[in-house]
Amino acid sequence: MKIEGTWILAPNEACAHQQIDDETVVVQADRGTASVLNTIGGQIFSLCDGKASVDEIVDQLDLEYDLEKSEIRQQVEQFAQDLMKQGLIRRLS
């Protein structure tokens, strides 16, 4: 599945998350599972707030990290695909 820059992504309604130190813990009550995301993964997850598009998420991370924007986009798209496969986020539009 190809993630589009205009997509709006949001956490799955069955997920609860909490930041603990540099990690984000995401619990899926309906599946009885928990995932631990590192600092950048947690940041991407939190930016999938149902308001920002994938393009806007990439733009935000581009301001914060000294990487090529194309690399940031590739990483965001890949991570978003992984989160969607795990049922942690969903596409709103």
**Cβ contact 88:42 at 8 Å:** no
- Domain residue spans of the chain: 9-87
The ranges of the chain with pLDDT < 70 are: none
> Does pTM surpass 0.85?
yes
**Cβ contact 74:31 at 8 Å:** no
CA distance 36 to 51: 23
In this structure, which CATH number among 1.10.1200.10, 3.90.930.60, 3.40.50.300, 3.20.20.10 belongs to the domain 9-87? 3.90.930.60
Kindly give, in sequence order, each residue whose CB lies less than 8 Å from that of residue 93, ignoring residues fewer than 6 positions away.
Answer: 6, 7, 8
The predicted pLDDT at position 1 comes to 80
The predicted pLDDT at position 22 comes to 94
The predicted pLDDT at position 20 comes to 95
